Amino acid sequence: MDTWIEDRPRAQQPTLVGVVGAGYVGLTSAAGLAALGHRVRVIEADPDRLAMLERGELPIVEPGLAELIDELRRAGRLDFTSAMSAVGGASVVLLCVGTPPRSDGDPDLRQLASAARDVASHATADLVVVVKSTVPPGTCDAIELICHGSAREDIAVRVASNPEFLRESRALWDFMHPDRVVVGAAERRVATLIRDLYPAEWPVLLTDRRSAELIKYAANTFLAIKISYANEIAALCEHLGADAGDVLEGTGLDPRVGPQFLKPGPGFGGSCLGKDLSGMIAVANRVGLEAQLPRAAQSVNGWARMRVVEKLEGVIGDLEGKHVAILGLAFKPGTDDIRDSPALDVIAIITERGARVTATDPLAAAVDASIERFDDPYDAVRGADAVAILTACPEFSGLDPHRLRSEMHGTAVIDAVGVIDVDAFEACGLDVAGIDRGTPCAFHPVILSPLRWTLSG
Ligand code: UDX
């Protein structure tokens, strides 16, 4: 038996757990729970996805996950099926289906409702249904009503909230090393059952269902606000001739602020932060509140993406007929996920303004057919008037500036994610613009007011 499984902390009570939905959250939770000692059955409705999983392939890119799942399947702790009847013997079923955003900002909960209905109608004994997907407060109450309507009369289905906080590309690590496990339940018995799925030493917060649901929104909204704040500070630094890297480092060194999520860039993306921000705003609006900070973070994020375009135009002028090479399509390094990636917006705007776009990404596929995608960054930049680095992939920090310069037609490099050695690039004749570097200037207009106030004593 491989040590990966044996080295894990043990769950308090080995349990048969059903997991509905084989996406990021479902696969990671299933593998994590099986590694903790539970017996896990994953129910996936999509036949293509299921066939892939049965072949031992994963529909997502996630370090270590395929190997662990393979090992757990061979150990008889984890299997995949399309049959909802598999929940029959389980005492706990996790719902890990998608909650994509609707156009009004609220999440689309139809997959969740349909999964809950299916699970409840196949329950053969009392069951706890756990909502892992991110949902607006009140959803668990609603799902419980749906379950009551679908389950046999002699069966009690209780619904609880246990939001997942994992980050893509670090999902397994996050699952196994949680800052906190949040459990929201209406009854102590149900809360305890879920808490006991996890090792006793893990920090658990037991609360009511609506609070648990809101914790996920509040956490992701705060992260989004923090990034947008960093982007505003970075812009201010550029205008003041200050160094945003130092300013944000100095700010984050205060433990009340903290150093994480203060890196400026082309704005946040991915499947969660933007969606949860919209979800939070919609929740607040429904009860008559304005959600002013979340709204500001949302608007700053759109502006952060636009700044990349403005910087491009600042260095190469009108984009009509220009060739721009985009380095990085995924919303962050280590994933092939392009959902809500800043690169999508930047490409859409510059294409609309007449630029020809080539692109490269270590993992992500082309955004659409209108752009040419290359595996090799040097192929992508060949003949380009400008290069924009939009994902902080280690592959891009290792680029040889001499070779880049010789492949390009122009000299403009926009490093929106701060991965390259600016001095080395500039020494090769490249003109680098970042998101965080001001142009120090002894008589910048910014000093006029302080000077006047100093002299007018
Ligand atoms: C996020 C949350 O971190 C996680 O807890 C939640 O469960 C799901 O949403 P994820 O979407 O995987 O995880 O990515 P994350 O690493 O949080 O990054 C989100 C976006 O913010 C990325 O586009 C990233 O590039 C950007 N970001 C992050 C910044 O621009 N600056 C930072 O300092 C940190």
Which amino acid, residue 187? Answer: E
Q: Is 451 among the domain residues?
A: no
Can you give the pLDDT at residue 2? 44
**353 touches 341 (CB < 8 A):** no
- Say what the pLDDT of residue 313 is: 96
Which of 96, 177, 273 to mutate for ligand 1's pocket (most ligand atoms within 8 Å of CB)? Answer: 273
3-state DSSP call for residue 182?
strand
- The tokens describing 209, both together, are 């269902």
Residues 377 and 258 in one domain: yes
User: Going by CA atoms, what residue is nearest to atom 32 of ligand 1?
Assistant: 261
Whether residue 143 is contained in a domain is answered as yes
Q: How many residues does the chain have?
A: 457
Q: Which residue has the tokens 């909802």?
A: 84
Catalytic residue among 237, 272, 393, 428: 272
What is the arrangement of strands in the sheet containing 204-207, beginning at the earlier edge strand? 78-81, 39-43, 16-20, 92-95, 127-131, 157-161, 181-184, 204-207
Ligand 1 atom nearest residue 167's Cα: 12
296 CA distance to ligand 1 middle (Å) = 18
Per-residue pLDDT of the chain in tens (457 residues, 90 and over written 9): 344 555 668 777 789 999 999 999 999 999 999 999 999 999 999 999 999 999 999 998 899 999 999 999 999 999 999 999 988 889 999 999 999 888 887 889 999 999 999 999 999 999 999 999 999 999 999 999 999 999 999 999 999 999 999 999 999 999 999 999 999 999 999 999 999 999 999 999 999 999 999 999 999 999 999 999 999 999 999 888 899 999 999 999 999 999 999 999 999 999 999 999 999 999 999 999 999 999 999 999 999 999 999 999 999 999 999 999 999 999 999 999 999 999 999 999 999 999 999 999 999 987 777 789 999 999 999 999 999 999 999 999 999 999 999 999 999 999 999 999 999 999 999 999 988 765 555 556 777 788 788 887 6
Enumerate residues lining ligand 1, CB below 6 A: 165-168, 220, 223, 227, 261-263, 265, 268-270, 272-273, 331-332
The verdict on residue 446 lying in a domain is no
Which residue's CA lies nearest to atom 31 of ligand 1?
263
Shared-domain flag, residues 343 and 275? yes
Q: Is residue 152 situated within a structural domain?
A: yes
Query: Which of 158, 222, 212, 209 lies closest to 181, judged by CA?
Result: 212
Distances (CA, A) of 421 to 64, 227, 430: 30, 23, 11
Q: Please tell me the predicted confidence (pLDDT) of residue 3.
A: 46
Same domain, 307 and 427: yes
Minimum-distance ligand 1 atom for the alpha carbon of 332:
25
Residues 58 and 201 in one domain: yes
Count of domains in the chain? 2
393 is catalytic: no
Residue 447 counted as domain residue: no
Judged on CB neighbours under 10 Å (0-12, 13-18, 19+), 176 is middle
Domain-located, residue 315: yes
User: What's the gap in Å between 268 CA and the centre of ligand 1?
Assistant: 7
Kindly report the CATH number assigned to the domain that includes residue 126. Answer: 3.40.50.720
Q: Are residues 336 and 423 in the same domain?
A: yes
Alpha-carbon torsion 171, 108, 300, 327, what sign? positive
368 and 283 inside one domain:
yes
